[in-house]
Structure 1
Amino acid sequence: MSEVLELNRERLRDFPLPYHPDDSDKEGRGRLLVVAGSRELAGAALLAGIGALRAGAGKLQIATAASIAVPLAIAVPEARVIGVEETEEGCLAADAVERMIGWCEGAQAILLGPGLQHGPPLDAMLDGLLAASLDRPLVLDAAVLGSLAPRAETLKAWKGGVALLPHSREMARLLDCEAEEVEADPLAAVRRAAGTFGAVAMVKGQYSHIVHPDGRAFRFEGGGVGLATSGSGDTLAGIVAGLCARGADPLTAVLWGIYLHGEAGRRVSARVGRIGFLARELLDEIPGLLPE
């Protein structure tokens, strides 16, 4: 079993991000499709989308519930916001799958999950996406994580690489175990998830653990208790997906995403306070944390 490496600025030198020269344009930094948000959780799509842009993604598309598409487009004028039909329960309708596959084919990376609602329509959407097995990174978070356990083998076949971003309760659902088991040995849980799903997996906490399917393992001392706040995970998902859109592989994107998210938490804590800051306050810190 491989040694667990500390994730810090020096370690990230082994995982350089794609370089974008001054004469490059937004097409060179990739297009990201974010499938996120619902009537009750519109903010999740907003935080994830802005997180991706702050991480340097060139173009942003957000597929979201039709009922929130217009206000979301006004809140994030930098994005193309696509309204998707909804069920009565507020889920994205399953019959939107074919349209979504077309949007995915035109993107360099895909983020699925923040602010979506559990239910059969989400399962159908996930099945349709996984069947396409596209050659681009797929970042999965929040509601969609609860649908992955019976789809492990299909997920392994995804050509572009997968990143899973659960907290301990979501990891427990992934592994069909109790959250206390994950919290007692988070590294063992992440190793199991990485092997089971063939994905770069992590679990968030005071110490975040990250494992690649090949066994490489990393640990990051978190950015402080203030990061345990509503919307924080959505910002992390957006940052990771934005880095993937720029051309980073899933492991590089997850390592940088966790580091940037944690360091942003430290900076905001020093300026605002140890707890009580908002997830949206993390976002403005990200560009300044990225190296030249």
Structure 2
Amino acid sequence: MNAPARLDRRSLREFPLPIADEDGDKEDRGRLLVIGGSRELAGAVLLAALGGLRAGAGKLQVATAASIAIPLSVAIPEARVIGCDEDGQGCLAPASGKVLRDLAREADAVTIGCGLQHGAPLDALLESLFADPFDSTLVLDAAALGSLAPLKEALRGRKGSAILLPHSREMARLLDCDHDVVVADPLAAVRHAASLYDAVAVIKGPCSYIAVPEGRAFRFEGGGIGLATSGSGDVLAGIVGGLCARGADALTATLWGVYLHGESGRKLAKDVGRIGFLARELLDPIPGLLER
């Protein structure tokens, strides 16, 4: 199998993003739905939502636990925030499945996982969400990845594309293997995940790899150690979702998302310091990097 191609500005020329027409409006740049958040992790869905807007999505909806919906709507005045049924732990309840499916059908892209919490309620929620497939591009991250293995056939059967954004431990759960196996050969792991789930897959790390089901792969030499911080992955999930909402295909959105996230980290490492910058600070450079 061919070696992975280097992901940089030159290689991205093969994957142009949709051009935003100066005469267009927000409808032309698509609708992103972000499903996530819980009473203890409201900030994660906030970061993902803002990542989608910074990537250029025209309209943003956030579906989250009812107890945090009002604070989030104030924190993100650009979004429509929908409060959904939650369980006693402040997490989205399985009963929210129908509402989420209805919202997902109207969205161009759906990012799900940021700020959700592992457990049986999330397993049931995702099973309900996938019970009646929708065609929107699906970006899966964080806790959603831990519930995905039993649902791989449902994921493979969707008409819409899917994108997986695990780090190495999440990848081990996706593949039902030891973490050491993933660390020993992350390229093989990401190719296996892409084939197994029929999705564009990423494995995040100092060197990140991206693969498609047919085996083509890319490598990105990270944005520095500073990206290994709380909330960084949520920002990436939002950026990828926002690019999908704009009309980019799954591979194009993933490549650009990984690149933009990493380049923002490089910029902050130079301007702020190698470590210690915040995930929220990754957001502001994104529009300028897109223009460049």
Q: Which category describes the TM-score, using the shorter chain as reference length?
A: over 0.9
| In the alignment, structure 1 residue 254 sits paired with structure 2 residue 254 | yes
**TM-score calculated relative to the size of structure 1:** 0.98
Equivalent residue for 2:91? 91
2:52 partner letter? A
2:194–2:201 Cα contact (<8 Å) kept = yes
Equivalent residue for 2:146? 146
- Aligned length in residues: 292
Question: Identity of counterpart residues, as a percentage?
Answer: 65
2:37–2:91 Cα contact (<8 Å) kept = no
1:117–1:143 Cα contact (<8 Å) kept = yes
Deviation of 1:233 after TM superposition, in Å, equals 0.2
Q: Deviations over 1:127-152 (max 9, x none)?
A: 22222222220000000101111111
2:196 partner letter? T
1:119 partner letter? G
Deviation of 1:93 after TM superposition, in Å, equals 1.1
2:39–2:89 Cα contact (<8 Å) kept = no
1:91–1:118 Cα contact (<8 Å) kept = no
Equivalent residue for 1:33? 33
2:94–2:128 Cα contact (<8 Å) kept = no
1:206 partner letter? P
In structure 2, C-alpha distance between the alignment counterparts of 1:251 and 1:54, rounded to whole Å: 19
Q: Deviations over 1:227-262 (max 9, x none)?
A: 000000000000000000001111111100000000
- Runs of 4+ displaced beyond 4 Å: none
Deviation of 1:214 after TM superposition, in Å, equals 1.3
1:55–1:287 Cα contact (<8 Å) kept = yes
1:153 partner letter? E
Structure 2 residue ranges without an equivalent (≥5): none
| In the alignment, structure 1 residue 204 sits paired with structure 2 residue 207 | no
Equivalent residue for 2:48? 48
Equivalent residue for 1:115? 115
In structure 1, C-alpha distance between the alignment counterparts of 2:94 and 2:148, rounded to whole Å: 17
Alignment partner of 1:192: what SS? helix
1:90–1:117 Cα contact (<8 Å) kept = no
2:62–2:79 Cα contact (<8 Å) kept = yes
Alignment partner of 1:111: what SS? strand
In structure 2, C-alpha distance between the alignment counterparts of 1:238 and 1:223, rounded to whole Å: 17
Q: For the aligned residues, what is the CA RMSD?
A: 0.9
In structure 1, C-alpha distance between the alignment counterparts of 2:178 and 2:39, rounded to whole Å: 30
Equivalent residue for 2:240? 240
